[in-house]
């Protein structure tokens, strides 16, 4: 019936020619492991790499799936019912307080990064300047250049070493990881305190070291880590439990706060609180929750405000809150640069160019990433690669090589573009008056920077790709504007190359990351001009459409390389052919309402299946091997039950035994111990466990005939992790998990079934 192309995925294709790290999908029934299981993923630069990469199949990563559906078991309902109206009010107030804290801390971190980068860069410039003054007379400019390169390399080395050796999870921009988290897949150690520290130090080093990087990706990641930490009221790394916010120790609540953190990060980076909210929504939230959105907005607002406030104090202008954001593109005054209706086609052409160049960037970076996965996986090699790129950074080439192309009058501003931090260069390209740049130099700059940025993304340093992309785009956009002014007779309208720089920047960034809505708003907020909203949106849409024709967005490529079962917004359009029966995993391991401990331990210990959710059934008849659904229980719940030895026999003997409470589950969250660490004696194996109180008695179910889009919608709208498929008798016939849905993919030739990596 279904015309599905069975096809290996992009990532698997890479592996076919490579080391074959993946096993093909055997059947759809198995599910990603949560905590005790293993998950083979392609070796990737942004995820830690183990030293011994000798075996063909190295298991080094535990992806876990988040569960946004509350397990409404008896314990939970009892707690909720005990809680008074006032209790709910207090919870709501705590949520706001936490969001305020998240915003405040994120803003503070942004402030620290800004000040640290500024000071380090200042020291660097000072040393080099001293050196130039000392040696220029004796003709030793090359010595200054070498000193410059050495300083840069030193900074980058520090940044690369801490990332490569201490916390590989802090590499890269962090946006793919946060995207995954918000989508419902947790990449290991992505929201740990150590990651945050390394990320912050790493980004300071890489920016101060003059790499072609930005601070915005790391800021977003930092915001998310802050949120995950603050909202739980404890730090497992520091082994400190503040005994507050215990109610929020579950996936649903934590994810909400992480969205707020990510938004606060965007907001601090660009001074774009609304853009931050939309970023979080675009990337993460699958259903709209108004209260949550307000809180996210609040966190974003507080974050920008905090950053501004402390920066204003630092700059000795306390209370001047007019320059929001770490990255400021300068305000486009609406009267100075307006656009006209007939310029819109030009902007669309620029959007298409951005899409093409973005696709090229992504393809090159994909090849490079594959190369890195295969050959540059040792930390020391990674550090060396980073140090190799460092002295190539454009800010050291301000004097010598490019002077060749510069007319004397243009020299200074061109030098500024090369010497400056990328943000300042973007600003200059947007706002410098016509005639500031020599077209030839600008072309060379674009070309150099394009390859440099492409090489840099994926290095083992903390680094964002927004600013380099904007810079590339601004450069060729300005070039476009200059050429346009040169070939058109009446120069008055076309004489403002700044707006073309802006459109080019939008096009290039859109072509690389393929965001539209949030990016439009971020650009509008960062430039402070709403007039350009429509053209920016058109440019971004064109860039996305053109770029998507060739290859996916940069973040999606990296997510795919990690074989993450990422759920897109909607089921593939042509997937009505498929029904739950075809996508579900079967047979399903079920438990009885009162189950033998030995059976449970055996099932949980079975590493070849690694299920995470188990339907609880009532046997219908002895002959019938399918039981009627009466609940759903999670691996993590069973583990807590086993740990506390909640056995029927023991409860009878020890009447005084404390009843297990929701608190016990919360205390174990999120790092539930593996089954191996729980000792169950032979006697205990014969005991029985009563799951009634702990299972979710009302799991969502669908009939077998439900179409895939319908299953998908249910899954995505409710943030499910398990969906039980039942027959007309309510008997469990299968279980749909995230991976069963993430397999289907709309390729160029219709529906394709990907082979996601699998235990």
Closest approach of Cβ 563 to a copy of itself, in Å? Answer: 23
Q: Which stretch binds a copy of itself (CB under 8 A): 9-17, 194-202, 270-278, 405-413?
A: 270-278
With CA atoms as reference, report the closest residue to 642 among 693, 600, 592. 600
Q: Which stretch binds a copy of itself (CB under 8 A): 76-84, 376-384, 407-415, 733-741?
A: 76-84
Binding mask 17-36 for a copy of itself (x = CB under 8 A): --------------------
Binding mask 520-559 for a copy of itself (x = CB under 8 A): xx--xx--x-xx-xx--x---x------------------
Pairing, β 234-235 against β 240-241:
antiparallel
User: Interface with a copy of itself includes 88 (CB under 8 A)?
Assistant: yes
Closest approach of Cβ 463 to a copy of itself, in Å? Answer: 27
User: Interface with a copy of itself includes 488 (CB under 8 A)?
Assistant: no
Closest approach of Cβ 77 to a copy of itself, in Å? Answer: 6
Half-sphere exposure of 105 (CA within 13 A, CB side): 23
Among 56, 133, 602, 705, binds a copy of itself (CB under 8 A): 705
User: Interface with a copy of itself includes 465 (CB under 8 A)?
Assistant: no
User: Interface with a copy of itself includes 380 (CB under 8 A)?
Assistant: no
Q: Which stretch binds a copy of itself (CB under 8 A): 56-64, 206-214, 290-298, 471-479?
A: 290-298
User: Interface with a copy of itself includes 100 (CB under 8 A)?
Assistant: no
Site for a copy of itself in 573-632 (CB under 8 A): 573-574, 576-577, 618, 628, 630
User: Interface with a copy of itself includes 720 (CB under 8 A)?
Assistant: no
In angstroms, the CA 736 to CA 603 distance is 19
- DSSP E strands in 301-446: the ranges are none
Please tell me the total number of residues recorded for the chain in this structure. Answer: 759
Residue-wise DSSP of 415-441: HHHHHS-HHHHHHHHHHSPTTSS-HHH
Q: Are 45 and 171 in contact (CB under 8 A)?
A: yes
Binding mask 316-335 for a copy of itself (x = CB under 8 A): ---xxxx-x---------xx
Q: Which stretch binds a copy of itself (CB under 8 A): 120-128, 145-153, 483-491, 713-721?
A: 713-721
Starting at the earlier edge strand, list the strands of the sheet with 722-726: 701-703, 722-726, 732-737
In angstroms, the CA 404 to CA 545 distance is 39
3-state class of 156 per DSSP? helix
Tell the burial category of 605 from Cβ atoms under 10 Å away from its Cβ (0-12, 13-18, 19+). Answer: middle
Q: Are 635 and 695 in contact (CB under 8 A)?
A: no
User: Interface with a copy of itself includes 97 (CB under 8 A)?
Assistant: no
User: Interface with a copy of itself includes 112 (CB under 8 A)?
Assistant: no
Q: Which residues of 241-256 are buried (b: 16+ CB within 10 A; e: fewer)?
A: eeeebbbbbbbebbbb
Closest approach of Cβ 609 to a copy of itself, in Å? Answer: 27
User: Interface with a copy of itself includes 340 (CB under 8 A)?
Assistant: yes
Give me the phi and psi of 123, to 5 degrees please. -60, -45
In angstroms, the CA 312 to CA 314 distance is 5
DSSP 707: B
Question: What is the total count of residues that contact a copy of itself (CB under 8 A)?
Answer: 85
Binding mask 45-64 for a copy of itself (x = CB under 8 A): --------------------
3-state class of 506 per DSSP? helix
Q: Which stretch binds a copy of itself (CB under 8 A): 39-47, 389-397, 668-676, 693-701?
A: 693-701
Closest approach of Cβ 529 to a copy of itself, in Å? Answer: 9
């Amino acid at each position: 019936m279904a015309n599905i192309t069975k096809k290996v995925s992009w990532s698997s294709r890479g592996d076919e020619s490579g080391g074959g790290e993946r096993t093909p999908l055997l059947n759809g029934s198995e599910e990603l492991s949560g905590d005790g299981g293993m998950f083979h993923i392609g070796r990737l630069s942004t995820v830690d790499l183990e030293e011994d990469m000798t075996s063909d199949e190295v298991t080094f990563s535990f992806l876990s799936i988040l569960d946004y559906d509350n397990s409404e078991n008896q314990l939970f309902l009892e707690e909720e019912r005990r809680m008074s109206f006032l209790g709910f009010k207090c919870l709501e107030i705590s949520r706001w307080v936490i969001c305020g804290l998240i915003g405040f801390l994120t803003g503070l971190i942004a402030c620290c990064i800004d000040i640290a980068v500024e000071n380090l860069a200042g020291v660097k410039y000072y040393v080099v300047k001293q050196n130039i003054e000392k040696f220029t007379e004796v003709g030793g400019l090359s010595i200054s250049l070498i000193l410059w390169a050495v300083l840069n390399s030193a900074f980058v080395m520090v940044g690369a070493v801490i990332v490569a050796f201490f916390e590989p999870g802090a590499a890269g921009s962090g946006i793919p990881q946060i995207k995954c988290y918000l989508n419902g897949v947790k990449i290991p150690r992505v929201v740990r305190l150590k990651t945050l520290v390394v990320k912050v130090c790493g980004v300071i080093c890489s920016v101060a070291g003059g790499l072609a990087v930005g601070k915005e990706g790391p800021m977003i990641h930092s915001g998310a880590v802050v949120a995950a930490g603050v909202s739980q009221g404890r730090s497992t790394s520091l082994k400190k439990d503040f005994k507050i916010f215990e109610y929020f120790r579950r996936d649903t609540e934590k994810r909400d706060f992480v969205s707020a953190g990510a938004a606060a990060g965007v907001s601090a980076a660009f001074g774009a609180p609304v853009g931050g909210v939309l970023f979080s929504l675009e990337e993460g939230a699958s259903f709209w929750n108004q209260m949550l959105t307000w809180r996210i907005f609040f966190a974003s607002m507080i974050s920008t405000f905090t950053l501004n406030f402390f920066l204003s104090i630092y700059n000795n202008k306390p209370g001047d809150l007019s320059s929001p954001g770490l990255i400021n593109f300068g305000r486009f005054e609406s009267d100075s640069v307006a656009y006209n209706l007939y310029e819109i086609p030009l902007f669309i052409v620029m959007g298409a160019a951005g899409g093409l160049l973005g696709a090229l960037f992504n393809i090159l970076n994909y090849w490079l990433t594959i190369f890195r996965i295969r050959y540059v996986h040792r930390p020391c090699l990674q550090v060396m690669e980073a140090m190799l790129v460092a002295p190539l950074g454009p800010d050291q080439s301000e004097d010598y090589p490019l002077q060749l192309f510069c007319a004397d009058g243009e020299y200074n501003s061109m030098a500024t573009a090369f010497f400056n931090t990328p943000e300042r260069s973007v600003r200059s390209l947007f706002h410098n008056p016509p005639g500031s740049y020599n077209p030839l130099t600008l072309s060379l700059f674009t070309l150099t920077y394009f390859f440099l940025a492409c090489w840099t993304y994926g290095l083992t340093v903390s680094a964002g790709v927004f600013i380099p992309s904007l810079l590339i785009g601004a450069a060729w956009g300005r070039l476009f504007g200059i050429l346009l002014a040169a070939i058109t007779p009446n120069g008055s309208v076309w004489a403002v190359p700044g707006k073309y720089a802006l459109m080019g920047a939008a096009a290039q960034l859109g072509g690389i990351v393929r965001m539209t809505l949030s990016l439009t708003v971020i650009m509008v907020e960062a430039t402070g001009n709403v007039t350009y909203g429509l053209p920016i949106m058109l440019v971004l849409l064109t860039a996305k459409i053109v770029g998507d024709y060739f290859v996916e967005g940069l973040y999606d490529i990296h997510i795919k390389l990690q074989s993450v079962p990422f759920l897109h917004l909607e089921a593939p359009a042509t997937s009505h052919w498929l029904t739950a029966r075809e996508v579900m995993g079967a047979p399903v391991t079920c438990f009885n309402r009162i189950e033998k401990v030995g059976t449970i331990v055996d099932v949980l210990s079975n590493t070849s299946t690694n299920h995470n959710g188990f339907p609880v059934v009532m046997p219908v008849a002895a002959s019938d091997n399918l039981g009627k659904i009466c609940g759903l229980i999670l691996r993590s719940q069973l583990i807590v039950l086993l740990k506390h030895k909640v056995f029927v026999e023991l409860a009878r003997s020890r009447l005084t035994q404390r009843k297990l409470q929701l608190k016990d589950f919360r205390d174990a969250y999120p790092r539930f111990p593996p089954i191996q660490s729980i000792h169950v004696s032979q006697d205990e194996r014969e005991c029985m466990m009563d799951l009634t109180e702990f299972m979710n008695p009302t799991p969502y179910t669908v009939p077998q005939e439900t179409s895939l889009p319908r299953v998908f919608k249910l899954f995505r709208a409710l943030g499910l992790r398990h969906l039980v498929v039942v027959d007309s008798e309510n008997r469990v016939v299968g279980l749909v998990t995230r991976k069963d849905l993430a397999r289907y993919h709309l390729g160029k030739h219709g529906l394709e079934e990907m082979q996601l990596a699998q235990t």
